[in-house]
Structure 1
Amino acid sequence: MADRDADDQDMGASPTSITSPELRFEAARALVWTTIVGLVVLAIYISQSLLVIFGAMVFASMIDGGVRLLGRVLPIGRGWRLAIVLLGAVAFFVWLTTYAGSKISSEAAELPAIVEQQARELFLWARGQGFEIALDDIKGMIGRAMDGVGTVTRALGGLVGGATSLLLIVIIGIYVAIEPRLYERGVAWIMPRDRRADFHLTVSRMAFTMRRLMFGRIVGMVVEGIFTYIMLVLYGTVTGDDIPMPALLAILTGLLAFIPNIGAAVSGILMVLVGFSGGTEMGIYTIFVYFLVQNVDGYIVIPMIAKKTVDLAPALVLGMQLIMGILFGILGLFLADPLLAMIKVALERRSEQNARDEAAASGESNPA
């Protein structure tokens, strides 16, 4: 052994060892950047799977919020409250499936044809007013609009038939909601010991923010859906001329209310196009209903729950939605708002940690 050590020393340093401290530092930096680039490439490659997992976390927060809310009125175990929430959700989807199978499905089949006809009439009217719009451009825009409408109606149909991503989100979300602390401890275990307390606090704040955000979204969806249905049916009751597919428009308005900014605009366009298919008076009434619903939601519902939910800048939310929609489609569009809220909480926690570290380095006892 002594002879081998002497031979190794005579041969000098091996190609894999770096004796210079400067070179070791640069090599370490290069390794860090290579690792970061590799992780980014890996995240892009498995982005759809990561998005499904994040969607499951969002769904789990909704279930957990319902369990906690139910615990305020029912002093029973968490397992029983979780079962009640899940049974209530199943009962709602069974009712929606039954209702959709008898009425909504036929209305959803008629919606693309109505939207296409109204879009053609709108562009033909624009050409009659002197706007130079080529017929090919009209067909292309109508085709893209139909793709969008088809996506929305397929999303509604996904509630009935179920897609693979939605099924995975539900299953993973239920598992996480049953035992959330188990997965939190599992992630904390792989982190450095001195960072685990900060991790638990960050996760706690993220969960709190997510529950409040989802509570606000669900309240807005329910209010907009019910209020839209009542107003559309009221028109037929008063005038005797029913607005086409009021139930479908109400459900789409409620579902799209989950997406701030973009959802309201899409549901409003669909409502107005369907309204004008029944005449000018009906179309003007649907415009009135749209603005009334948005004002009630914007000036009454949202201010009532804004103090209990996360505050996000509208322009920032819209930008995040555009980016996520382009990168990941309809699923990314739905999850853009919750993801932005989580990023905001993480940045706030990082700022607090930096302030604490700076205060500790300067010897302050009570940093702001």
Structure 2
Amino acid sequence: MTDNIDTGPDSDPDQRPSPARILNPAIRLEVQRAIAWVVVVGLAVLFVYISQSILVIFGGLVFAALIDGGARLLGRVLPVGRTLRILIVLLLSIAFFTWLFYFTGSQISQEAAQLPTLVQQQGIRTLAWLQNRGVAIDLSTVQNMAGQLMNGVSLVTRYIGGFVGGLTTLFLILIIGLYVALEPRLYERGLGWMLPAEQRGDFHVTMVRMATTMRRLLAGRLIGMVFEGVLTYALLAFWGVPMAALLGILTGLLAFLPNVGAIVSGLLMVLVGFSGGVDMGLYTIAVYVVVQVFDGYVVVPVIARKTVDLAPALVLAAQLVMGILFGILGLFLADPLMAMIKVALERRSERLQARMAGTTELPGGA
């Protein structure tokens, strides 16, 4: 006759459940959900704290795409190594800006110093003219609104702090962009190694498409900037509008910002034009309309067919959000960021379509 030995889990201390284990499945599920929410909130808080650094890194990638595009274009006519082509692109860029500041530096600096005063005077005259026409406008209220707008537009200045911080941020963007442009495959492989092996091929295809889209987008932006800047300067100088060179440069630079840039440059142009009389003011309005209409209906459609075509309302919304959150840096990077998001979403849609079709080959290839 054998003894009755209890072989249940409670008889062996090693087989007993841990005191920290939740036996109730419903309670365990709720705890898992709570942990998931804590992780999501923690990641969101972390993203807020490092968002400025991420934006600077993205700015470096944009600059790298700009350098890479110039090197690729130069490679079509100059069969030399990639590093040498990048060096030539950088030297040509430095030479251009040196020439620009050497020949127009003193004139541009004087005009830039006079522009804020001129704009303020013209703004006061415009408000006074509206008041004389029966429009009820309180000058103090307008000034307070303008001050609040300037204070609330940018959070980035509180993080990078003034002129020195701005130069530091610009320096970091240039250095990051230069390193990435010299060895883009190195950083792409580094990111790919962080992913599972079965996802690395799709990651490579996505990165290639993003890089191509970024180069085309920046090439289109540069063409538009040169066109608007040169044409604006030529038309304004023809009529003898003050600060024609400065307005041409500002128009060209602001052309990098779709929607917002055209409004700001046009407002500055018209204010300066009316400082020389009604005829000159009307002429500057005509110049603005001609430049924007020709750019919008001729240059932009031609460029968009070979680059990336983004919905204007979507770009404007992204600019407003990025401008409020990150200031001028976010405003400049909103358009490239939306282009990258569009590429990622299109790639995801292709994967879903391939999965639904039961195939392993994704449409579009690399």
Deviations for 1:129-177, whole angstroms, at most 9, x for unmatched residues?
11111231133356568889xxxxxxxxx99x97111111111100100
Residue 202 in structure 1 maps to residue 206 in structure 2:
yes
Residue 216 in structure 1 maps to residue 214 in structure 2:
no
Q: What residue in structure 1 maps to residue 311 of structure 2? A: 313
Deviations for 1:285-341, whole angstroms, at most 9, x for unmatched residues?
100110111112112211221111101001111111111111111111110000011
Unaligned runs of 5+ residues in structure 1 are 149-157, 237-242
CA contact (8 A) 2:350 2:362 kept: no
Change (3 A) 1:128 1:46: same
Give runs of aligned pairs for residues 118-133 of structure 1, distance below 5 A: 118-133=122-137
Give runs of aligned pairs for residues 1-368 of structure 1, distance below 5 A: 8-9=13-14, 12-18=16-22, 27-99=31-103, 101-141=105-145, 143=147, 163-236=167-240, 243-360=241-358
CA contact (8 A) 2:354 2:360 kept: no
Unaligned runs of 5+ residues in structure 2 are 1-9, 153-161
Q: What residue in structure 2 maps to residue 152 of structure 1? A: none
CA contact (8 A) 1:119 1:142 kept: no
Change (3 A) 1:130 1:41: same
CA contact (8 A) 1:213 1:309 kept: yes
Secondary structure class of the residue paired with 1:229: helix
Q: Which moved more, 1:134-143 or 1:22-31?
A: 22-31
Partner Cα separation in structure 2 for residue 229 and residue 27 of structure 1: 65
**Amino acid corresponding to residue 258 of structure 2 in structure 1:** P
CA RMSD of aligned residues (A): 2.6
Q: What residue in structure 1 maps to residue 5 of structure 2? A: none
- C-alpha displacement at 1:18, in angstroms? 4.5
- C-alpha displacement at 1:41, in angstroms? 1.3
- C-alpha displacement at 1:100, in angstroms? 5.4
Secondary structure class of the residue paired with 2:257: coil
Partner Cα separation in structure 1 for residue 146 and residue 196 of structure 2: 55
Partner Cα separation in structure 1 for residue 100 and residue 55 of structure 2: 26
Partner Cα separation in structure 2 for residue 186 and residue 366 of structure 1: 25
Q: Which moved more, 1:70-79 or 1:222-231?
A: 70-79
CA contact (8 A) 1:225 1:253 kept: yes
- C-alpha displacement at 1:105, in angstroms? 1.1
Deviations for 1:54-85, whole angstroms, at most 9, x for unmatched residues?
01111100111111111111122111111111
- C-alpha displacement at 1:25, in angstroms? 5.3
Partner Cα separation in structure 1 for residue 25 and residue 203 of structure 2: 33
- C-alpha displacement at 1:244, in angstroms? 1.1
Partner Cα separation in structure 1 for residue 318 and residue 102 of structure 2: 36
**Amino acid corresponding to residue 284 of structure 1 in structure 2:** L
Corresponding residue pairs, total: 345
TM-score, normalised with respect to structure 2 = 0.87
Secondary structure class of the residue paired with 1:191: coil
Partner Cα separation in structure 2 for residue 337 and residue 15 of structure 1: 54
Q: Which moved more, 1:96-105 or 1:181-190?
A: 96-105
Deviations for 1:184-215, whole angstroms, at most 9, x for unmatched residues?
00011011111111111111111111100000
- C-alpha displacement at 1:91, in angstroms? 1.3
- C-alpha displacement at 1:36, in angstroms? 2.6
TM-score, normalised with respect to structure 1 = 0.87
CA contact (8 A) 2:351 2:362 kept: no
- C-alpha displacement at 1:32, in angstroms? 3.6
CA contact (8 A) 2:63 2:177 kept: yes
- C-alpha displacement at 1:16, in angstroms? 3.5
Change (3 A) 1:111 1:356: same
Partner Cα separation in structure 2 for residue 135 and residue 77 of structure 1: 61
Change (3 A) 1:72 1:19: farther
CA contact (8 A) 1:123 1:138 kept: no
